[in-house]
A and B are shown apart, each in its own frame.
Chain A
């Protein structure tokens, strides 16, 4: 496992660079609020997020639900239009392209969605879905349709005989394999997998994770792997970004972030992992309330729950800065690295 998320390193092999990405959603005002002319508010799903992903690197993004992981993933291919910031994919300004340029970009950056029960068109057979992906981007020669479909199905571990089936007739794991095959059928340079295993049974999760690792090895894919389970991310990622309230609070190599976490939130996350040993007493859970995303405190967003909180934390928002090579943390206090992580 190599690579790092530190900006300012070698920029030669950086495939994706995100700077200051911000996305908010307008909040509908109630009639009373409109009459009282309460100003329209925005729910900030992603706030000033910056990171880089290098070629052939797998970046994991973890965070609890509502932390902005999904919005972040979707804004990278403009399924969601960001408000501010830049997204550069292989030198292409993602926010500036449109029409056929945008479609070309979307071919190169494929998404795998969380729920394979809803992300596959129920009317299309597996083969038709895979074939369509290839045909639209002109990657299939006429007369070689069957070969194209079976090649892509076998690559994700499906027998080609399933090509005539419809999603309804497949299991969850098989469906997710179809979704992956369909994404790979257009020959992408990068995969954004948004919680690709959360909807699956635990036994199937392992298979799909192994498939991702295997495909990454064989095809040299660059990947962003979004998940809320730390164990899932730790199995595939080279670097990890931890999100909290729409911000990245810690970002670095897997060994550093999960092995010696410096941000109190990451430490708490790792400490709250389910422990297989029932006699082992864990650290006390976090106290305090999660702030309302509509009414965030001015300083550090984690200040309300942080055990190390100081006065400065409640006033000034900490910036994401390097504490050591390839390790960025957004914390004023920077308590000593916690050694109880996954090493």
Chain B
């Protein structure tokens, strides 16, 4: 990524637009500011809009007035709303979201340990999706309107239509219970291998949910490129079909994959909430479910903000990646 951006930079300089990449990056960051503000306000408002008294909601009706008062003070609920907001933003900037009511640990630490697990899972899922989708998309595009294509499109419709928890249960039933190849659920962090084994079924579940979207977009973009004259020209020069597809077709089709991947990152995060619960993976998804059920407001606030920022960062990264993949994408906004 860094190297790719570097290449873009060199090209920009050659074109006589010095520092174009930085200007672009700066502009995109500026555009992100309103979104970040909105997400922050949204995360903060959660605690203000909770009907009734948050402290009472959290501690239950049997709480003593003293403990309620302590919690209100800890949460800053005894101050005015603007003061609370400033306090929240101040804390957010340095990553301080207070203490988890449930775990009695700083929210930051709770999120950090689980974020590693969740991001490994997301990455694993994305890799699975790409590994499944790319060959299928190529096969389907090259064998356009033949049985291979129809099978792929039907199959992708089916896996896409299946709810992810159902797909997850089916996979667990078959690979974990029937064949016994992988653990049914849980997260064994003994070593890298056991971690991989624990994450395989959840990653396959999310990956199989994503792969159809990816495969279908990629299929249509491959078909579009296949019809281009430069592909025929490459064949006419006596190149192998594998080279024609790999070097001339795929590189021009990949931009669609990047777009779709970045767009469905939101899906992936919400998908991971369900899948992590199905497979008992202690990631952010199961954390947010626990936090909501237990009314652990500091954790909820922090997670909402964290998910929002993650999506913003990923989209920005995707935009920069386009420019690296496709030199024709001009780094101009607006």
A interface residues (Cβ-Cβ under 8 A, vs B): 77, 79, 102-107, 110-111, 113, 115, 118-123, 132-133, 136-137, 164, 166, 168-169, 179, 182-183, 186
Contacts and interface: CB of A to CB of B under 8 A. Distances in A.
Interface in B108-161: none
Contact of B232 (A79, A104, A179): A79
A133 to B, nearest CB: 6
A123 B252 CA distance: 7
Nearest to B15: A169
A106 B229 contact: no
Contact of A183 (B14, B15, B237, B252): B237
B248 A103 contact: no
Contact of B237 (A122, A123, A169, A182): A182
Contacts, number: 64
A73 to B, nearest CB: 10
5 contacts: A111-B236, A118-B228, A119-B233, A136-B239, A136-B243
Interface residues of B, number: 22
Contact of B236 (A106, A118, A122): A106
Given A118-B228, A168-B328, A111 B233 contact: yes
A234 B10 CA distance: 46
B252 A121 contact: yes
A334 B240 CA distance: 48
A7 B251 CA distance: 47
Given A105-B238, A107-B238, 14 more contacts: A79-B235, A104-B238, A106-B236, A113-B232, A119-B229, A121-B230, A122-B252, A123-B252, A164-B14, A166-B327, A166-B328, A179-B233, A183-B237, A186-B238
B314 interface: no
A121 B234 contact: yes
Given A113-B229, A115-B229, A118-B230, A123 B327 contact: yes
A133 B247 CA distance: 12
B317 to A, nearest CB: 21
Nearest to B227: A118
Contacts of A115: 229
Secondary structure type dominating chain B contacts: helix
A107 B243 CA distance: 15
Contacts of B14: 164
A229 to B, nearest CB: 21
B326 interface: yes
Contacts of B228: 118
A110 B237 CA distance: 6
A106 B328 contact: no
A103 B327 CA distance: 30
Nearest to A111: B236
- Among all A-B residue pairs, the 9 with the closest Cβ atoms: A106-B238, A103-B238, A118-B229, A107-B238, A111-B236, A121-B230, A119-B229, A119-B233, A119-B230
B236 A120 contact: no
A77 B236 contact: yes
A107 B234 CA distance: 11
Contacts of A169: 15
Contacts of A123: 251-252, 326-328
B281 to A, nearest CB: 39
A102 B238 CA distance: 7
Nearest to A133: B237
Contacts of B232: 79, 113, 119
Given A118-B228, A121-B252, A113 B237 contact: no
Given A120-B230, A122-B328, A132 B247 contact: yes
A107 B240 CA distance: 12
Nearest to A167: B230
Nearest to A120: B230
Contacts of B230: 118-122
